[in-house]
Amino acid sequence: MRPVTAAPKGVLVPGAAAQRFRLGRYLPAADLAPVVEHYWVVAWDLTGQPPYVQRTLPYPAVNLVFDRGRTAIFGPMHGIFAYELTGAGRVLGIRFRPAGFRALLGAPLTTLVDRSLPLAPVFGAAGDGAEDAVLSAEGDAGMVAVAEPLLRDAMKEAPAMAGEVNRLVAMIETDRDILRVDDLVSRCGLGVRALQRLFADLVGMAPKWVIRRARLHEAAYQLGQGQAVDLTTLAQDLGYFDHAHFTQDFKRVIGQSPSRYREACAVAGEDLAITGKNKE
């Protein structure tokens, strides 16, 4: 399997996270690449240690998570995803492309926002026993090898505009000049209302929300390095009207002000440098 080389932006307080678990991310097989963004594996061993709650800022995407006793399909989320790690274990996640899961769900993605589903409504009888088969496989590659046929068998024809929507979301995440919906409209040739309808159907989230989430991902990533990032400059670079609006938006979603989050990440980074990473 080919690993994902880009740094993850959704893992909050990454220095503390690196001390508690291993994160592996892998690209899908070529035939699944139009639908699947990547696979992710979280493995941990906290035996004899206190439980640890990892908080994640989700992307505008569906995740299928194989987790012992808690396997489910998780729709796009407005808020933070929190997961308690205790004892020892591992999970396999499949992060779909923003419009990728529409080919499996067969319904507008708005129906899955802030919700989770068992496997049966999407995978039918094929989902029975999938959790045990995946989590009993050997190594990361083994789990992925068991999960991929399940995806192939459930695939339906993708909506005509799925590829274009995936391209637009990728553009939002990489083009720092896209700060408003009008910026996206000027690049895609669609009107605002058409763009909104398309995103509601295929992504589940409005274009404005996707743009805002991309800005918060970038902010959390830069602050998470624990370095002396100038908050006023960062707010301006991300298109906020002023520092106060940036602080308000960041705190509303992350739960801490940018300055407090930066401090927490700096402390975690110092601890990581001293103790090193925990191994699986």
Give the number of other CB atoms < 10 A from CB of residue 118: 11
In the predicted structure, residue 241 carries a pLDDT above the cut 90 = no
Q: What is the pLDDT of residue 215?
A: 95
Residue 271: per-residue pLDDT: 58
Q: Residue 269: which pLDDT band, with cuts at 50, 70 and 90?
A: low
Mean pLDDT across 32-42: 97
For residues 20 and 46, the answer to whether their CB atoms sit within 8 Å is: yes
DSSP-derived pairing of the beta strands 81-85 and 72-74:
unpaired
Q: What is the mean pLDDT of residues 19-48?
A: 97
Domains in the chain with CATH codes: 14-154 (no CATH), 162-269 (1.10.10.60)
pLDDT of residue 48: 97
pLDDT tops 70 at residue 39: yes
Checking if the pLDDT of 225 tops 90, the result is: no
Is the pLDDT at 279 greater than 50, yes or no? no
The closest alpha carbon to 97, from 176, 139, 151, belongs to 151
Residue with tokens 């992710």: 40
Mean of per-residue pLDDT scores for the chain: 94
Residues 6+ apart with CB under 8 A from 243: 231, 232, 235
Given this model, what pLDDT does residue 270 score? 64
Indicate if the pLDDT at residue 266 is higher than 60.
Answer: yes
pLDDT at 274 (0 to 100): 46
Q: 183 with 212: CB under 8 angstroms? A: no
In this prediction, residue 278 has a pLDDT band, given cuts at 50, 70 and 90, of: very low
Q: Residues 13, 25: contact at Cβ < 8 Å? A: no
pLDDT digits (tens, 9 = 90+) for 148-207: 999 999 998 889 999 999 999 999 999 989 999 999 999 998 999 999 999 999 999 999
Residue 251 has pLDDT above 50, yes or no: yes
Of 101 and 268, more confident: 101
> Whole-model pTM?
0.93
